[in-house]
């Protein structure tokens, strides 16, 4: 790889799926250069809300484990410092970027600058035609070592190994630059440009969902067409790894699914 840059694989465990509504409960990052590990961070953090049973069943993190943990704001400076040592990479990075961005914003801390790579996008290019690009399935099929899956440090190490596997496959013909990897990763991501808007939108939609209020949104379709909609949120969901809100749309007079990342503006209707 050109110039042998430092890469930082990171992962977060959370109370749920929606940044801005749910909270981070564990942070982990592994800085590496080629096959050399330069630094490791791993810490549980107390979200200040009960751990939902559904999330606890996935990652094994309980209220008892979190009782003595520090709040996110106390752990974030060291975590963000390690992220800033190189180019961050995560699997299904939009999820992790959203949560880290909103936690940094809540704590009044600056998020790292620069692009974030996504091993899911890289894996699609390196290993095309697979049925699943989930981290656990890729790790199993590629023989990666992932003890304690669905804990942040284990998944960060799995992401590090997957990045190395993807790079080895993609660089068979030529060295790649960070800019090449950004292009192969998919939609551009960065903590400062992408992360803050979506959590604020999520909080507003959650407020409307709880109160039964209507929301005016500007929504950009997959074809790039921007429309104004009046919607009544029903629930949150994930589609292909992206967070969406299921809502009644008055324009279509039917229930529709709207990706949070495609909502350019949102405000409570009078």
Which is nearest to 217 in space by CA: 226, 225, 209? 226
Neighbours of 39 (CB within 10 A): 15
Q: What's residue 190's pLDDT?
A: 85
Identify whether 229 is part of a domain.
yes
Task: Name the pairing type of β-strands 117-118 and 87-90.
Answer: parallel
Identify whether 215 is part of a domain.
yes
Q: What's residue 33's pLDDT?
A: 96
Identify whether 147 is part of a domain.
yes
> Which of 195, 218, 251 is the C-terminal boundary of a domain?
195
Judge if 67 and 171 occupy the same domain.
yes
> Which of 163, 195, 227 is the C-terminal boundary of a domain?
195
| Domain CATH code at residue 112 | 3.30.420.10
Which is nearest to 216 in space by CA: 200, 205, 206, 207? 205
Helix or strand run (H / E) with residue 267 = strand 263-268
Judge if 41 and 130 occupy the same domain.
yes
Cβ atoms of residues 217 and 247 within 8 Å: no
Identify whether 1 is part of a domain.
no
Cβ atoms of residues 234 and 209 within 8 Å: yes
Judge if 68 and 174 occupy the same domain.
yes
Judge if 121 and 204 occupy the same domain.
no
Judge if 203 and 188 occupy the same domain.
no
Which is nearest to 103 in space by CA: 27, 160, 177, 1? 27
Judge if 187 and 203 occupy the same domain.
no
Judge if 101 and 215 occupy the same domain.
no
Judge if 116 and 63 occupy the same domain.
yes
150: annotated active-site residue: yes
pLDDT along the chain (270 residues), means of 10: 90 90 95 96 96 91 96 96 96 90 89 91 94 91 78 95 95 86 87 68 90 95 89 87 88 93 90
Judge if 72 and 128 occupy the same domain.
yes
Cβ atoms of residues 156 and 59 within 8 Å: no
Residue range of the domain that includes 244: 199-268
Q: What's residue 262's pLDDT?
A: 87
Cα–Cα distance measured from residue 20 to residue 77, given in angstroms and rounded to the nearest whole number:
19
Judge if 214 and 126 occupy the same domain.
no
| Domain CATH code at residue 210 | 2.30.30
Identify whether 23 is part of a domain.
yes
Cα–Cα distance measured from residue 178 to residue 167, given in angstroms and rounded to the nearest whole number:
11
Judge if 238 and 125 occupy the same domain.
no
> Which of 144, 177, 195 is the C-terminal boundary of a domain?
195
Identify whether 107 is part of a domain.
yes
Identify whether 2 is part of a domain.
no
Q: Which of 150, 169, 200, 256 is catalytic?
A: 150
Which is nearest to 243 in space by CA: 96, 133, 104, 125? 96
Owner of token pair 């060295």: 175
Cα–Cα distance measured from residue 146 to residue 121, given in angstroms and rounded to the nearest whole number:
20
Q: What's residue 175's pLDDT?
A: 85
- If one counts the domains in the chain, the total is 2
Q: Name the E strands within the chain.
A: 7-14, 24-33, 36-44, 87-90, 117-118, 215-220, 226-239, 242-249, 254-259, 263-268
Judge if 214 and 154 occupy the same domain.
no
Identify whether 116 is part of a domain.
yes
């Amino acid at each position: 790889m050109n110039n042998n840059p430092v890469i930082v694989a990171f992962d977060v465990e959370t109370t749920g799926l929606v940044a801005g509504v749910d909270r981070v409960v564990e942070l982990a990052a592994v800085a590496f250069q080629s096959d050399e590990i330069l630094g490791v961070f791993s810490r549980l953090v107390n979200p200040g809300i009960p751990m939902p049973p559904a999330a606890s069943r996935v990652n094994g993190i309980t209220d008892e484990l979190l009782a003595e943990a520090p709040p996110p704001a106390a752990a974030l400076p060291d975590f963000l410092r390690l992220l800033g040592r190189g180019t961050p990479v995560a699997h299904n990075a939009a999820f992790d970027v959203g949560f880290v961005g909103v936690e940094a914003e809540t704590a009044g801390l600056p998020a790292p600058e620069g692009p974030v790579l996504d091993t899911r996008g890289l894996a699609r290019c390196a290993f095309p035609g697979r049925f699943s690009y989930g981290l656990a399935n890729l790790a199993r099929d590629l023989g990666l070592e992932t003890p304690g899956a669905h804990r942040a440090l284990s998944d960060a190490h799995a992401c590090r190994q997957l990045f190395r596997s993807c790079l080895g496959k993609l660089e068979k013909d030529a060295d790649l630059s960070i800019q090449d990897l950004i292009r192969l990763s998919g939609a551009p991501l960065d903590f400062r440009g992408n992360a803050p808007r979506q959590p604020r939108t999520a909080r507003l939609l959650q407020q409307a969902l709880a109160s039964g209020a209507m929301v005016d949104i500007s929504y950009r379709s997959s074809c790039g067409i921007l429309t104004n909609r009046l919607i009544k949120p029903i629930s949150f969901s994930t589609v292909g790894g992206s967070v969406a809100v299921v809502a009644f749309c008055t324009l279509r007079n039917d229930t529709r699914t709207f990706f949070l990342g495609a909502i350019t503006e949102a405000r409570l209707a009078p």
